[in-house]
């Protein structure tokens, strides 16, 4: 079986690999009811549609890569492959191929965390919790975590900052109502009340990341704007969102200039005649 690479010390080192499978085979077929999920699995959110897709693939082609398990309390605890295990149940399988590895509890925890991070199976919040588990359980620095998972320290640090956000914001990120760009903008606000106020505006008005950054800047300058001052600010947020959408459409810098209370002008910038021709074609003039 191919070795999984990129694991800091390597899977073999973590698990002190010994051939302990039934009949000394590379893997054996295990009844699915004898398998249990890892209690320290960092992945908490399994998208139903993705599981359905994997289940359909398993029905057609079977499980290509065996699960990696360890013996635990009379059962087999998953080290790697919980998504395959869940999808196999959806597919109606009664047994699955597994590879047994002897591993300490610490090794199982570390491998489960690192394996999920490196496979990019986690959402941003789950990944942040995985980094924190490595820091706290193994008493290592963020720099050491970064080395073990093959990331730079800035990535780890920025991920851990997400856990400072309120639970509601974290849930929005998991459910993809808010993006990482929204989250980074909200981290600039220290007050939970202001964060919640910004969250409400973002979700209610479907603000872009750029518009959210503008909203955060305004809230930092004036956390409690009066009712009379709120109205003129709202079009600015809308304008920022429109500019961003137009820039994506034309792949050029776009500026909307407000003049007075109602009018204004729309500017689409170009660098050469070819770019101008492309923009004109998009406008269908």
Radius of gyration of the chain (CA): 25
Give the CA angle between residues 94, 98, 103 to the nearest 5°: 135
pLDDT band at 226 (very low <50, low <70, confident <90, very high): low
Q: Whole-angstrom Cα distance, residue 243 to residue 240?
A: 5
Q: What is the pLDDT of residue 7?
A: 35
- 82 noted as active-site residue: yes
- CATH 3.90.1530.30 domain range(s) in the chain: 11-160
Mean pLDDT over each residue of the chain, to the nearest integer? 81
Q: In the chain, where does DSSP find H-type helix?
A: 11-15, 48-61, 82-90, 105-119, 124-138, 142-149, 153-161, 167-174, 180-186, 192-205, 209-221, 227-250, 273-283
The model's confidence at residue 282, banded by pLDDT at 50, 70 and 90, is confident
- pLDDT in the model for residue 228: 43
Q: Are 28 and 98 in contact (CB under 8 A)?
A: yes
C-beta neighbour count of 285 within 10 angstroms:
6
List, for residues 86-136, the tens digit of each pLDDT value: 999 999 999 999 999 887 777 877 877 777 777 666 788 988 988 998 898
* Residue located via tokens 């770019």: 275
Q: Which of 19, 53, 82, 201 is catalytic?
A: 82
pTM of the entire predicted model: 0.57
What's the burial of 66, exposed, middle or buried (CB within 10 Å: 0-12/13-18/19+)? buried
Domain range 11-160, CATH architecture: Alpha-Beta Complex (3.90)
Cα-flanking dihedrals φ and ψ of residue 134, to 5°? -65, -45
């Amino acid at each position: 079986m191919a070795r999984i690479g990129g694991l800091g010390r390597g899977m073999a080192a973590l698990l002190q690999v010994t051939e302990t499978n039934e009949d000394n085979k590379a893997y054996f077929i295990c009844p699915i009811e004898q398998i249990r999920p890892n209690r320290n699995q960092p992945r908490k959110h399994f998208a139903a549609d993705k599981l359905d897709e994997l289940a359909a693939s398993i029905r057609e082609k079977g499980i290509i890569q065996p699960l990696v398990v360890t013996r635990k309390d009379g059962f087999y605890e998953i080290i790697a492959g919980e998504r395959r295990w869940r999808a196999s149940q959806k597919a109606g399988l009664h047994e699955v191929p597994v590879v047994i590895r002897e591993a300490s509890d610490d090794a199982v925890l570390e491998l489960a965390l690192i394996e999920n991070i490196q496979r990019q199976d986690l959402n941003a919040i789950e990944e942040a919790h995985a980094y924190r588990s490595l820091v706290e359980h193994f008493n290592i620095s963020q720099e050491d975590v970064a080395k073990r998972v093959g990331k730079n320290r800035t990535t780890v640090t920025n991920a851990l900052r997400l856990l400072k956000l309120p639970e509601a914001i974290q849930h929005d990120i998991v459910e993809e109502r808010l993006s990482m760009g929204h989250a980074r903008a909200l981290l600039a606000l220290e007050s939970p009340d202001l964060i919640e106020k910004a969250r409400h505006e973002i979700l209610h008005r479907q603000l872009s990341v750029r518009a959210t950054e503008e909203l955060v800047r305004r809230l930092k300058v004036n956390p409690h704007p009066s009712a009379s001052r709120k109205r003129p600010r709202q079009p600015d947020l809308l304008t920022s969102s429109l500019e961003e959408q137009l820039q994506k459409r034309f792949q050029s810098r776009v500026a909307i200039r407000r003049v007075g209370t109602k009018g204004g002008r729309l500017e689409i910038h170009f660098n050469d005649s070819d770019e101008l021709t492309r923009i004109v074609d998009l406008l269908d003039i």
